[in-house]
Every structure is written in C-alpha cells, then in structure tokens.
Chain A
Amino acid sequence: MTTARILSVGLMLGVAGFASPGPVLAQDKTMAFSPLSLDIPAMQGLSGALGHFAEEAGIGYMTLDPKFDANTQAQQLSQVIETGRVSGAWAITIGAPALRGVIQRAVESGIPMVVSGRPGDYGFTEALPGIAFSDIDYEAYGTTIGRELGNCIAERLAGQGRVFFLGDTSGNEAAGITDSFGRKGLETAAPNAVIVAENLAKERLESQQKVSQMLLAHGDANAVYASNDENAMGALQAFEAAGLPTPCIVSGGGSDEVLGFVESGRIYAAAGFDFAGDAYQNFQTLLAMMETPAALGPILSIPIKLTK
C-alpha cells in the first residue's frame, strides 16, 4: 500500500506540474506545429525556430509529436483545431489522405493551416480557403539524389558504378516516389551503373551491418544510394571496416554530421529539403491567413538544398 501511496502522490505532483500555466495559455492566438516526429534532430531545430518566430510575433506556440504515425497526426491536429485550442496550424504531413478530414473541418472552422503537398494528395481538386499547400516535390528530391550519385560515378569511376541501393524505409507513397525517381536519376546520369543489391535500414548500426553483409556477396561495389543520413554513415563505416576504398555515396537528408563528411570529401553529396529555410515563409503565410482565413491559400514550394 505504501508503494501505491507514493505513486499516487507522484502522479498528483506530476499533474500539478503540468497544470502550471505555460506561456501558451497566456496568448490570444496560438499556432500548432505538427512535424513528422520530434525524434528527428532537424524537426526539433525547426520546432525551436518556429517557437522563436511565434514569440517574436506575440502569439502562442505548441508542438505536437505524431511520431511518424499518420493517424496520430490527424488525431492530434483534430484535437487542437476542433476544440478551438489553436488559431492556426502547420503540418509536415506524414500521410496526406489521413489529413483530408482535418483540413475539411479546419476550413469549416475558419482555422488556417499550412500542409505539405498539393491539393490532389488530399483528394481535393482545387485550392481551399485558409489552406496553404507547401509542396514537397519527392520526384525532384529522388531525382537529385540519383543524379548526384550518377555524377559521382561518372567523375570518379568512369561511369562504371556498382551500386548498393538503400531505399526509403518509411514505406509510404512518398517513399515509393523518391526511390523510383532516385533510380531514374541514377540511370540518366550514369547509364552504365548497375544496382547490384538493395536493402532497407533505419538506423546506422543496422545499415552498417547490412552493407557489410552485402559486401560479402558484392565486394566490387563502389557506390551507395543512401536514402537518409544514417544509411550513408552506416554504409561509409561498413566500407571502411572492410578496408575498401571510400565509395561514391550520396545521402538524402543532410545532417550537420553528414555535411561535415561532404566537406571532407568522404561523402560526395547530400540532398535534403530546406525545411529551415522554408519555415519562415510558411510561418509568415500562416500568420497572414490567420487574419484572413476566408481567402484562398497559396501553393508554396519547399526548395531542395544540395551540398557537394
């Protein structure tokens, strides 16, 4: 019983801790930001930047964390929009169709949103009042990664690339588009390159282990298409551990660590969406739409940042 009492007191103290009103409650207007997941350092940074913008603009700010789950993202956004808790929201969409209902209700409630993609991704045929679409061009993204890998193969390997293809692990439609256009980009830039093995890995260690295993069967591999930073780092470590020359590696993403390796020449290039650069544009758009939620929202575009 003593343990139960201690836990009860702990829970009450916890609730009391939450109950202390934060800065969010003090504002007339509040915006919510729903990233892919706060587990991604880039998303944490973006959230911090938005919080800063909101503070400067004198509005409240809250972050949601759907943890890569499209349904959770829809639920959380519904909870803050339909209750009138926020006056605007920005979502980096995990699964566009999942937010169709949320967007419809946001339009009905006159609460503006900035969402990723195009109207068609959500089953809409045209622009909507108070909804700005921030288009993520996965075709261009995949093409850029593939093309840069092809360029590396052409420059350093005389066009004779034997490629490990570490595809996008998210399993959603965007992943399919990115990978498909990645292959096309590679084929265009280095027609003689051959993908000798494909695999999926989410983490660095997993990527390292899988690439090491792939090297047993394909010791002549000399290039890596890495869908994310962790794949790129794991692949690089696997090649180094096997005592092989540094391969052509192009990474999707572009964390500080990977950019450091790009600078030192051990990774050829990194391509990623410039979310940080895009943040201010989206924030200003949302702020403007909060004033005139009945006006048709614009269709924005997220630039792709290439570092090589």
Chain B
Amino acid sequence: MSHDAISAGAPSGGATQGAATGQVHLPLDVAILVFLRDRGIFVLWALLLVVFSIWNHPYFATINNAMLILSAASLTAIFAAAVAVGLFSGALDLSLPGVAALSTCVVGVLLKQFGVPVPLALLAGLGVGMLCGLVNGYIVLRGLNPLIVTIGTLSVTSGLAALVVGGYAISGLFELEFMGAARYFGIPSHAYIVALVYFALTVFLTRTRHGIRMRAVGGNAEAVRRAGLSDQRYKILGFVISAMLAALGGIMTMALVFEASPSASPSILFTALTAVFLAGVSLAGGRGSLPRVLIGALVLATISDALTIAGVQPYWATVTTGLLMIGALVFDKSMTEAISARLVQVSTLSVHEKGKK
C-alpha cells in the first residue's frame, strides 16, 4: 500500500530486471535498507507491543486495552491524516486546530440553540471545514507563504469559534454519543470512522487520477504545470480535504467529551505532526504513505497507554514522544543516505563489470 517516490519496486541504477516478468530486482542489502526505511515503523510498533506486553503484564496485552489504544489513536490518526494530506499536496496547514474548534462550535450551536437534526448539524460542521480549506487555498494561491497564511487563519477561526459560542463551551451534547464513547461489536465507534477515512483516502491518493496528481503537485508543482495540468486546483483540493478532516477530528473530539469548546488546542497539531514524521512523510511534499501515518498514530497511542498503565511519571511521556520524533527523522535520513550510497556503489560496479566484458 506504500506509495513512496522511491520504493523497493522502483527502477534504479544497478538493479536487475527480470526478463520474463519485467519486475525490478534490487540487490539484497539495498532491498533490506529500503524495507527498513519503508516498513521500519511497523517493526517498531511490533517491538513496542512485545516489550510493553512483558513490562505491563498482565494489564497491557488484553483485548480491552487494545480497544483503548485504538480509541486513543483515532483522534490523532484523523488529525495526522489532515496534516499528511496537506503535506502530500505541498503545504503544511497550521490552521487545523482552529478549523476543528470552529466546526465543533458551529455544530454545538446548531444542535443546542437551533435544534437542528444531528445529521444536518454534522454536515454543516464539515461544510465549515470545507469553506475554511477553500479560503486557505485561495489565499495561498495569491503567492503567499502557506505557513503564514494558515497561522493567520488559525487566529481567525479560533476567534470566530469563541464568537459563535459566546466565549464559553457548549456542554451536554449527549446526542453525539453514537460516534463518541459508544462501541459496536466491542470496537470503539471512532475506529470505524478512521478505517473508513483511511481506506477512502488511500484509494483516492493511490488509485485515482486526481489523487495521484495531487501528490504530484506536492512533489514537483513545476513538472505538473509543464505537463499541462492545473496545479492550483490540486493545491486547493489538498487544503479542502485537510480542513474537512480537521473538522471531522473536531467533531469526533466533541462526541467524546460531549462539549463544543472554542479552545483551539495546538497540542493536537503537534501530536499529529509527530505521527506524520514518524511515518516518514516528507515536509517537502509528495512523499509519504497514509497507512504508515496510521501506524504512527498507533505507535504514539501505544506508548502513551503503556506509560500510563505502568504509572511512569507523566513527564516521561512527553520526553519519549520528542525523542521518537527526532529518532524517526534521523533514522529516515540515515536510511535514505545509506540507500543512495549503496545504489551509487552498485551502479559503479556494474559499469566496471560491463567495461571488463
């Protein structure tokens, strides 16, 4: 499911091509390095599960705790998807917490003050997200720096959220329990939403023309323009999907706490960014895999869960998250450099071998 720009299946110097199948075969050591880079996060998660199961025996390795980890990872996963889609299309959207707050406040007011039916209110919340994404996209297309623009819209949306609810949270939104703390067949409702969103987005990004073009814009907008495609449309699409996911994340949070809060929590963004970088998504755009982002969110939730159960001093959780993020970046860079170096070495050897023949 990985859709990196360079993957184990990509043609490269020194690689051999099977005559019958047309498949590309990398040298074993390069293939291992590529595997570690692309699938390292899966290995890390598996290792963590084993270590924590032993350490926190008998509390950690239970179905119930697995569901708790799923539930805790869900919100991070949605916000991480929002960040990742933005990065795929070439922009880091910092307004996501504000968009989430504004959407939840609109839904809260519609439900509590206007008695709007739940489905309509939820659609309105997502609509607010879409609108915010459109505004962000159109402003950025004027040639302004996305970071600065989205910091501005973060402030605007946070202020609007407070205005919508008069500064204070709207509480008692118990009608949203069906998509909050509720479980279906023992699985948290959030997990279904996350599964649906990740499946749909992965198909969109890897199997549809628009999704592939959107990632191409993030990777190299100039090349897309030269190919005669509109990069602007896809940049806006990135902002819109990103903001709608943030709105969905906000609504899911609201359904969990039964409260529409105007506070735009920047910690949501930092946790999401950590999951995204753990997954090796490039800040420069274009490169990254959505399923790995989901694993990144699960890794963070697993660590937090294990440290909580173990009763480790809470400050360590913060330290560990930071260390993981730095470690992931160093690991990704080291692997990429090692792969490049090895490929150069292999291709040089191949040239010499051909020369001898």
Chain A residues in the interface with B (C-beta under 8 A): 1, 3-4, 7-8, 10-11, 14-15, 18-19, 22, 24-25, 30, 32, 38, 60, 62-65, 67, 69-71, 74-76, 78-80, 82-85, 95-98, 100-101, 123, 167, 170-173, 175-176, 179
Contact = CB atoms under 8 A, between A and B. Distances in A.
Given A82-B65, A98-B256, A100-B181, A76 B172 contact: no
Given A75-B72, A82-B64, A82-B65, A173 B258 contact: no
Given A63-B314, A176-B167, A97 B64 contact: no
B310 interface: yes
B323 A11 contact: yes
B338 interface: yes
The B interface is mostly helix, strand or loop, or mixed, namely helix
A70 B308 CA distance: 16
Contacts of A167: 167
A98 B257 contact: yes
B308 A98 contact: no
Contacts of A95: 169, 171, 257-259, 261
A97 B331 contact: no
B169 A173 contact: yes
17 contacts: A1-B334, A7-B330, A14-B320, A14-B323, A18-B310, A18-B312, A30-B311, A38-B315, A63-B314, A64-B308, A74-B181, A83-B59, A97-B259, A101-B180, A170-B263, A171-B167, A176-B168
Given A75-B304, A101-B180, A176-B167, 13 more contacts: A1-B334, A11-B327, A14-B323, A63-B313, A65-B317, A70-B259, A74-B181, A80-B309, A97-B172, A97-B173, A171-B167, A171-B263, A173-B170
Interface string B312-344: 111111001001001100110010001000000
Nearest to B173: A97
Contacts, number: 136
A71 B253 contact: yes
A170 B162 CA distance: 12
Given A83-B60, A176-B169, A76 B308 contact: yes
A171 B258 contact: no
Contact of B168 (A3, A19, A30, A175): A175
Q: How large is the interface on B (under 10, 10 to 19, 20 to 34, 35 or more residues)?
A: 35 or more
Nearest to B320: A14
A170 B206 CA distance: 42
Given A123-B172, A171-B168, A79 B308 contact: yes
Contact of B65 (A8, A38, A83, A172): A83
B189 to A, nearest CB: 11
A92 B162 CA distance: 25
B68 interface: yes
A62 B308 CA distance: 9
Contact of A173 (B259, B265, B305, B338): B259
Among B60, B71, B257, B309, the most chain A Cβ lie within 10 Å of the Cβ of B257
Contacts of A60: 311
The A interface is mostly helix, strand or loop, or mixed, namely helix
A33 B319 CA distance: 21
A38 B313 CA distance: 11
A97 B176 CA distance: 12
A186 B265 CA distance: 32
A18 B305 CA distance: 14
A97 B68 contact: no
B68 A78 contact: yes
A19 to B, nearest CB: 5
B314 A38 contact: yes
Given A24-B311, A82-B68, A97 B171 contact: yes
B311 A3 contact: no
A76 B312 CA distance: 12
B175 to A, nearest CB: 11
B55 A19 contact: yes
Contacts of B315: 38, 65
A100 to B, nearest CB: 7
A79 B65 contact: yes
A83 B323 contact: no
B258 A100 contact: yes
B113 interface: no
A10 B331 CA distance: 14
B169 A171 contact: yes
A186 B72 CA distance: 43
A170 B261 CA distance: 9
A247 B62 CA distance: 59
A16 B258 CA distance: 39
B259 A98 contact: yes
B174 interface: yes
B205 interface: no
B197 interface: no
B6 interface: no
